[in-house]
Structures are given as C-alpha cells and as structure tokens.
C-alpha cells in the first residue's frame, strides 16, 4: 500500500516508516519539522536502502495537503503529526487545539475528496484520565486532565463520527502506552527538544552526562516500591502495530480502538535499576515530590490487539533499556 505518514519524521513515525518498508509498503512522509530534523530521512535510507519521498508542509494547510493528494494515489493515512508536550499544552492550549484538531479535519476533508478510506490515528493512554482500575480495557471510561489529552479524545470523537457518517471510511484508533527504546541500529531514536519531560530520555541524558541526576517524582504511591508504574513499550513493537493496523483498516469499515501496550507495568525504580544493570552504568537519582497530574499506575490490557489485529509486543524491558542507550550514546546531540 502507498501510505501517507503525517509527522513521519518524528520518533514513532520514523520507526513506523522502516517497518512499513520492511513489510513491502511504500511510505511517504509529510512533516513540517516542528519537532524533528530532515536528517532522519538520510538515516531511514541508510537502514532500509530506500529513499522515502518527503513533503515539507503543515498538515493544517489544506491547499498543500490537496496538492500532495493530487500527486499521490494513497491507500491509507497514518496521522502521527501533532504537538505532544503536556505541560506546554497547559501554557498554550489554543496552539495545541489548532494544530492537533485542524490537521485531522484537513486530512479527513481531503481524503474524502480523493476517495482515500483508511485512517490510523495516534491516540494515547492519556485519554483514560485517572483510571478507576488497571489494567485498562478499551471500553473503560475516558476523561482528560490537560489540553493535550483533550485533543486526543476530541480527535477520537471526530474520527468516530466521520466514520459513522461515511460507510466507506475505516478508522483505527491506537492508544499508545509509553513508547521507549530505539531502532536496533542506533541510527534513529527519540530526540527531544530541551530538557526531557519523559522518564527514559531523562535517564539517557543523565547517563550521557548532559544532566546531573534524575529526580524520581514520588515514592509514596500505592505501588510495589512506591514509585509510579507505567506500561513501557519498545518503539519498534509499536511501529509494527501500525503495519497490522493498516491491514486491518483496509479489510474493515467503521471505527476500532486498540490499546497498544505490553500489559506489564514497571515502576520508575524498575526502569532505573534495569537500565543500570544492562548498560553497566550508574544513574544518580534522588526522590522528589510527586509531579502534579501524575497517576500511580497505568498499564494496558492489550488482549484486543492480540485477538483482532494479531499483534503482540515482543521486546522486553532489557532490550528497551539497551536500545535507548545505544541510540543516545552514539548520538550525543540527537540528529544535530
């Protein structure tokens, strides 16, 4: 299939691009490099031996998106493009709503015009809000605590309504848990701007000597060691889920939601200890107060994805920690 990857130069999009090529598909990337670098295209070529066509554009720009659809007969769209920093979304909510909602509306309108019927969307476990219980199942109540999360939930609603009104449209909503790790080559990986907010890039930058020590946000949660528990998933496993999702979309109509996680929760200290052990490194850390808005535990019941998509995460925590460090240690300043 010829697959448009909006935001395909980003962390998850670039890994998905490689898995799509491996599976025999033809990905095309549209990105405005708001949070990524053109260098990633060279790295994808290095890994796959294939040149990926790039459109440097803003997905909210309807005319530019239209021109791209005139030039390409797409079979499917995977919509990764979006702003994703939770704290920033509270400071500049309108920018988040404009970018994350307008991009989806623009794509849906242009897809309708050109008869493109398969849409896969990057949603997030954040749509479950503060969970009543874990593991999380797709049918559980949703609700958000910040504008970023609301953009995900609103997009889910927009896409569900669009597919209900158009019997030809197929939508797959993938609720990602916590992607970490990098491609085994160490040539592509996560390259956050400024000081990372998320745990794994913070750890790797401490390991690289760029940051002094890790702050562990709270050790008084009701978890096995008091620190927050999450469902960390290797980004390559997550990428493979997209290959399954476009196959599923092409064969079905309507909207389906899938949790994309491993089903296992690890605490902050589990991650730190595993990272130190497999990489033979010391990560200095100290316990800090809880981070506002954090929850104690969040992990998936991924059985629907296993049964319906035939997808299951295969890479364990040790591999995630090794691959994260392999990327960081060989690319001290990311792609720059």
Cβ-based neighbours of 87, under 8 Å, separated by 6 or more: 197
Confirm or reject binding of residue 215 to ligand UD1 (CB under 6 A). Answer: yes
Rounded Cα distance, 89 and 110, in Å: 27
Query: By the 8 A CB rule, do 238 and 179 touch?
Result: yes
The contact pattern for ligand UD1, residues 183-202, with x = CB under 6 A and - = no contact, is --------------xxx--x
- Residue from the set 3, 4, 5, 9 that interacts with ligand NAD by CB under 6 A: 9
Confirm or reject binding of residue 86 to ligand UD1 (CB under 6 A). Answer: yes
What size, in residues, is the chain? 336
Residue 99 binds which entry of ligand UD1, ligand NAD, none, with Cβ cut-offs from 5 to 8 Å by kind?
ligand NAD
The contact pattern for ligand NAD, residues 54-93, with x = CB under 6 A and - = no contact, is ----xxx-------------------xxxxx---------
Which residues partner with 29 through β-bridges? 5, 54
Confirm or reject binding of residue 33 to ligand NAD (CB under 6 A). Answer: yes
**Stretch binding ligand NAD (CB under 6 A), from 27-35, 202-210, 271-279, 312-320:** 27-35
- Residue from the set 79, 183, 187, 230 that interacts with ligand UD1 by CB under 6 A: 230
Confirm or reject binding of residue 27 to ligand NAD (CB under 6 A). Answer: no
Alpha carbon 84 to its chain centroid, in Å, reads: 9
Query: Residue 313's closest CA among 234, 245, 250?
Result: 234
Residue 31 binds which entry of ligand NAD, ligand UD1, none, with Cβ cut-offs from 5 to 8 Å by kind?
ligand NAD
From 148, 176, 266, 299, active-site residue? 148
Task: Specify whether 148 is catalytic.
Answer: yes
Q: What is the 3-state secondary structure (H, E, C) of 124-185?
A: EHHHHCCCCCCCECCCCCCCCCCHHHHHHHHHHHHHHHHHHHCCCCEEEEEEECEEECCCCC
Residue 82 binds which entry of ligand UD1, ligand NAD, none, with Cβ cut-offs from 5 to 8 Å by kind?
ligand NAD
Confirm or reject binding of residue 122 to ligand NAD (CB under 6 A). Answer: yes
Rounded Cα distance, 307 and 178, in Å: 21
DSSP at 300: B
CA–CA distances in Å: residue 128 to residues 66, 70, 246: 34, 38, 24
Strand duo 229-230 + 266-267: pairing? antiparallel
Rounded Cα distance, 126 and 136, in Å: 11
Confirm or reject binding of residue 264 to ligand UD1 (CB under 6 A). Answer: no
- Residue from the set 117, 124, 262, 264 that interacts with ligand NAD by CB under 6 A: 124
Number of residues that bind ligand UD1 (CB under 6 A): 19
Rounded Cα distance, 80 and 151, in Å: 13
Confirm or reject binding of residue 114 to ligand NAD (CB under 6 A). Answer: no
- Residue from the set 18, 20, 32, 108 that interacts with ligand NAD by CB under 6 A: 32
> Which residue, 138 or 247, is less far from ligand UD1 as judged by CB?
138
The contact pattern for ligand UD1, residues 267-306, with x = CB under 6 A and - = no contact, is -x----------------------x-xx------------
Rounded Cα distance, 219 and 153, in Å: 30
Q: Tokens 């496993």 appear where? A: 237
Binding residues for ligand NAD, rule: CB under 6 A, are 6-7, 9-13, 31-36, 58-60, 80-84, 99, 103, 122, 124, 176, 179
Which residues would be at the binding site for ligand UD1 (CB under 6 A)?
86, 124, 126, 149, 178, 197-199, 202, 214-217, 228, 230, 268, 291, 293-294
């Amino acid at each position: 299939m010829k697959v448009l990857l909006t935001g395909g130069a980003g962390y998850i999009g670039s890994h998905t691009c490689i898995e799509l090529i491996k599976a025999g598909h033809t990905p095309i990337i549209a990105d405005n490099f708001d949070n990524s670098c053109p260098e990633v295209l060279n790295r994808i070529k290095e890994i796959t031996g294939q040149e990926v066509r790039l459109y440097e554009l803003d997905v909210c720009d309807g005319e530019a998106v239209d021109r791209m659809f005139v030039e390409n007969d797409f079979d499917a769209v995977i919509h990764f493009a979006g702003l994703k920093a939770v704290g920033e979304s509270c400071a500049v909510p309108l920018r988040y709503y404009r970018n994350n909602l307008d991009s989806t509306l623009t794509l849906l309108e242009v897809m309708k015009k050109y008869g493109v019927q398969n849409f896969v969307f990057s949603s997030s476990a954040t749509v479950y809000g503060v969970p009543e219980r874990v593991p999380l199942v797709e049918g559980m109540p949703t609700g958000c605590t910040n504008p970023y999360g609301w953009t995900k939930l609103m997009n889910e609603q927009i896409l569900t309504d669009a597919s209900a009104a158009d019997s030809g449209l197929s939508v797959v909503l993938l609720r990602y848990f916590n992607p970490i790790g990098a491609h085994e080559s160490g040539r592509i990986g996560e390259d956050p701007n400024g000081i990372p907010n998320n745990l794994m890039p913070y750890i790797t930058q401490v390991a690289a000597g760029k940051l002094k020590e890790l702050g562990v946000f709270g050790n008084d949660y009701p978890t096995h060691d008091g620190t927050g528990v999450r469902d960390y998933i290797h980004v390559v496993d997550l990428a493979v889920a997209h290959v399954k999702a476009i196959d599923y979309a092409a064969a079905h109509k309507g909207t389906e939601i899938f949790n994309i996680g491993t089903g296992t929760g690890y605490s902050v200290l589990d991650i730190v200890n595993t990272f130190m052990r497999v990489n033979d490194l010391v990560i200095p850390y100290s316990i800090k107060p809880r981070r506002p808005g954090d929850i104690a535990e969040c992990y998936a019941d991924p059985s629907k994805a296993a049964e319906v998509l035939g997808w299951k995460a295969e890479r364990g925590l040790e591999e995630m920690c090794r691959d994260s460090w392999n990327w960081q240690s060989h690319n001290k300043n990311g792609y720059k």
